[in-house]
């Protein structure tokens, strides 16, 4: 039997089936709660239960380190009674905006020895409706899905450009380099809560690890196209120079953006800090280059340990926790679409 879920002090309610997550039920009903990985790792979907009882889906933990004792992860909870939620924030969305397409591979190039730059085209006349920073899911033939961030801005909507790191033994990514023009993939889009607010003017620091550069590229190209000019620092980290696989895009922003600072960080890079390159991890680069983050926003994207380290460094430098936004590339299959 489904339970009735309502949002505290708001005219918003939806049904949640047994075993369904609160997050998925809300999204399906057109109520957008903050979220990213939907796998109980990133902590973007934390919120409170104002009334009622929840349990973990299939015995999963309903809290992780990002939760205060009052908070739970909405992506891991299913209701055990009718509930009232007290989310961090919420908005209404059109639940029919999410669509499935058969996309065609337009081109597939190696941007680095272990990174494919995959360009997909939608069927003629179709448009991808997404916002900068969102991601799509590729449906594999075993029914599981893999998530990849859009690297193109929403204004370029006839397809998707994806930056895919080859994971050794990975079911999809280890094979991606073999995809050829004309091959087809089933994709569903859009996913992901957009963290950056359009009316913000404060300086922003982007911290990207490896292919975490993809959503940053989408956001920066979108800001440029919309002529939004906030002061921007980009810290992009990789093991070596080859991992910073799209330097021409950065060079373009450096030319076009009046207040743009780029800090490449190489964890196995030069022994000393040479020129503009920081020798070390991105969290160390953030500490060194941005010692005072009060009055800033930080948007961080990459692997779970990298995001955790950057979150801690940002807090030490005075960033308010509400101003830290993360897209965590949690590995492995995603939950089926909401
Ligand atoms: C919201 C979101 C956005 C994402 N966007 C991107 C993106 O733009 N570009 C991108 O390259 N990836 C991205 N990812 C990761 C991506 O969805 C896949 O998880 C990744 O490509 C591995 O898929 P696979 O099928 O090759 O590996 P799987 O077959 O799923 O995994 C094989 C094995 O490798 C491990 N593994 C998988 N990935 C990693 C990893 N990164 N590091 C260490 N071990 C790993 C798994 O735990 C498993 O043991 C994103 C993930 C999320 C949740």
pLDDT tens for 270-300 read: 655 556 799 999 999 999 999 999 999 999 9
Q: In what order do the strands lie in the sheet with 297-302?
A: 278-279, 260-266, 232-238, 204-209, 297-302, 324-328
Does 33 reside within a domain?
yes
Does 334 reside within a domain?
no
Does 196 reside within a domain?
no
Mean pLDDT by 10 residues, the chain (338 residues): 94 94 94 88 91 95 91 96 95 87 98 97 94 95 93 96 96 97 97 80 96 97 92 96 95 93 90 74 97 96 93 94 88 60
Q: Which of 170, 304, 335 to mutate to test the pocket of ligand 1 (most atoms within 8 A of CB)?
A: 170
Chain position carrying tokens 């021409």: 248
Instruction: Tell me the two tokens of residue 168.
Output: 């050794």
Which residue range(s) make up the domain with 312?
204-328
Q: Kindly state the percentage of the chain with pLDDT values over 70.
A: 96
- Do 209 and 323 lie in a common domain? yes
Nearest CA to ligand 1 atom 9: 164
- Do 49 and 139 lie in a common domain? no
- Do 255 and 320 lie in a common domain? yes
Does 50 reside within a domain?
yes
CB of 245 closer than 6 angstroms to any ligand 1 atom: no
Instruction: Tell me the two tokens of residue 262.
Output: 């780029």
Q: State the pLDDT at residue 335.
A: 54
DSSP state of 318: T
- For residues 105, 218, 44 and 333, what is the CA-based torsion angle, rounded to 10 degrees? 10
154: closest CA among 222, 201, 58? Answer: 222
The whole-angstrom separation of Cα 276 and Cα 250 is: 13
Q: Which of 144, 331, 336 to mutate to test the pocket of ligand 1 (most atoms within 8 A of CB)?
A: 331
pLDDT in tens, 180-225: 999 999 999 999 877 777 788 999 999 999 999 999 999 999 999 9
The whole-angstrom separation of Cα 235 and Cα 206 is: 6
Q: State the pLDDT at residue 336.
A: 53
CB of 213 closer than 6 angstroms to any ligand 1 atom: no
The whole-angstrom separation of Cα 150 and Cα 213 is: 10
The whole-angstrom separation of Cα 176 and Cα 312 is: 34
- Do 140 and 159 lie in a common domain? yes
CB of 305 closer than 6 angstroms to any ligand 1 atom: no
Nearest CA to ligand 1 atom 10: 164
CB of 172 closer than 6 angstroms to any ligand 1 atom: yes
Alpha carbon of 138 to ligand 1 centroid (Å): 12
Question: Which of 92, 118, 147 delimits the end of a domain?
Answer: 92
Q: In what order do the strands lie in the sheet with 71-73?
A: 13-16, 3-7, 83-87, 46-51, 71-73
Nearest CA to ligand 1 atom 31: 170
Question: Which of 75, 92, 109 delimits the end of a domain?
Answer: 92
159: helix, strand or coil:
strand
Does 252 reside within a domain?
yes
Does 199 reside within a domain?
no
**What CATH code is carried by the domain that includes residue 277?**
3.40.50.80
Question: Which of 146, 165, 191 delimits the end of a domain?
Answer: 191
Does 220 reside within a domain?
yes
- Do 87 and 109 lie in a common domain? no
**What CATH code is carried by the domain that includes residue 14?**
3.10.20.30
Q: State the pLDDT at residue 19.
A: 94
CB of 203 closer than 6 angstroms to any ligand 1 atom: no
The whole-angstrom separation of Cα 246 and Cα 3 is: 48
- Do 85 and 109 lie in a common domain? no
CB of 333 closer than 6 angstroms to any ligand 1 atom: yes
The whole-angstrom separation of Cα 48 and Cα 239 is: 39
Q: In what order do the strands lie in the sheet with 184-191?
A: 145-149, 135-139, 184-191, 99-112, 115-121, 159-165
Alpha carbon of 193 to ligand 1 centroid (Å): 19
The whole-angstrom separation of Cα 232 and Cα 332 is: 32
336: closest CA among 66, 70, 67, 100? Answer: 100
Please, how many CA atoms are within 13 Å of residue 193, restricted to the half-sphere of its CB? 27
Alpha carbon of 226 to ligand 1 centroid (Å): 31
Alpha carbon of 253 to ligand 1 centroid (Å): 28
Q: What does 70-107 look like in DSSP terms, one character per residue?
A: TEEETTTEEESS-EEEEES--EE--GGG-EEEEEEEEE
- Do 317 and 220 lie in a common domain? yes
Q: Which atom of ligand 1 is nearest to the CA of 330?
A: 53
- Do 20 and 65 lie in a common domain? yes
Q: What's this model's pTM, rounded to 2 decimal places?
A: 0.89
Q: State the pLDDT at residue 37.
A: 84
CA 108 to chain CA mean position, Å = 22
Alpha carbon of 279 to ligand 1 centroid (Å): 26
- Do 84 and 187 lie in a common domain? no
- Do 176 and 212 lie in a common domain? no
Alpha carbon of 45 to ligand 1 centroid (Å): 20
- Do 314 and 242 lie in a common domain? yes
Instruction: Tell me the two tokens of residue 83.
Output: 């509930």
Instruction: Tell me the two tokens of residue 32.
Output: 């957008």
Q: State the pLDDT at residue 175.
A: 95
Instruction: Tell me the two tokens of residue 50.
Output: 């104002």
Q: State the pLDDT at residue 36.
A: 83
The answer to whether residues 5 and 82 touch, using CB atoms and an 8 Å cutoff, is: yes
Q: State the pLDDT at residue 42.
A: 83
Alpha carbon of 148 to ligand 1 centroid (Å): 9
- Do 220 and 143 lie in a common domain? no
- For residues 182, 186, 191 and 197, what is the CA-based torsion angle, rounded to 10 degrees? 20
Domain count, the chain: 3
Does 309 reside within a domain?
yes
């Amino acid at each position: 039997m489904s339970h009735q879920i309502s949002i505290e002090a708001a005219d918003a309610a939806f049904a949640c089936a047994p075993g369904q997550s609160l997050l998925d039920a809300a999204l399906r009903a057109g109520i957008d709660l903050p979220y990213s990985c939907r796998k109980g790792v990133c902590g973007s979907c934390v919120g409170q239960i104002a009334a009622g009882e929840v349990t973990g889906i299939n015995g999963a933990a309903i809290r992780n380190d990002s939760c205060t004792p009052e908070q739970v992860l909405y992506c891991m909870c299913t209701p055990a009674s009718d509930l009232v939620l007290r989310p961090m924030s919420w908005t209404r969305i059109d639940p029919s905006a999410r669509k499935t397409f058969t996309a065609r591979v337009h081109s597939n190039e190696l941007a680095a020895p272990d990174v494919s730059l995959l360009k997909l085209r939608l069927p003629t006349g179709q448009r991808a409706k997404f916002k900068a920073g969102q991601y799509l899911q590729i449906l594999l033939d075993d029914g599981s899905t893999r998530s990849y961030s859009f690297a193109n801005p929403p204004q370029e909507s006839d397809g998707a450009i994806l930056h895919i790191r080859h994971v050794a033994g990975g079911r999809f990514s280890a094979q991606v380099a073999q995809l050829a023009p004309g091959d087809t993939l089933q994709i569903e889009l859009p996913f992901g809560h957009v963290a950056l607010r359009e009316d913000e003017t404060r300086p922003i620091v982007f911290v990207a690890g490896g292919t975490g550069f993809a959503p940053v590229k989408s956001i920066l190209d979108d800001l440029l196209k919309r002529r939004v000019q906030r002061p921007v620092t980009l810290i992009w980290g990789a093991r070596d120079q080859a991992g910073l696989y799209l330097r021409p895009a950065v060079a373009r922003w450096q030319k076009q953006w009046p207040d743009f600072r780029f800090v490449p960080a190489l964890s196995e890079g030069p022994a000393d800090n040479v020129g503009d390159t920081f020798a070390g991890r991105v969290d160390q680069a953030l500490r060194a280059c941005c010692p005072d983050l009060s009055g800033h926003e930080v948007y961080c994207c990459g692997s779970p340990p990298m995001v955790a380290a950057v979150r801690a460094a940002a807090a030490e430098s005075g960033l308010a926790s509400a101003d830290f936004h993360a897209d965590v590339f949690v590995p492995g299959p995603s939950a089926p679409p909401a």
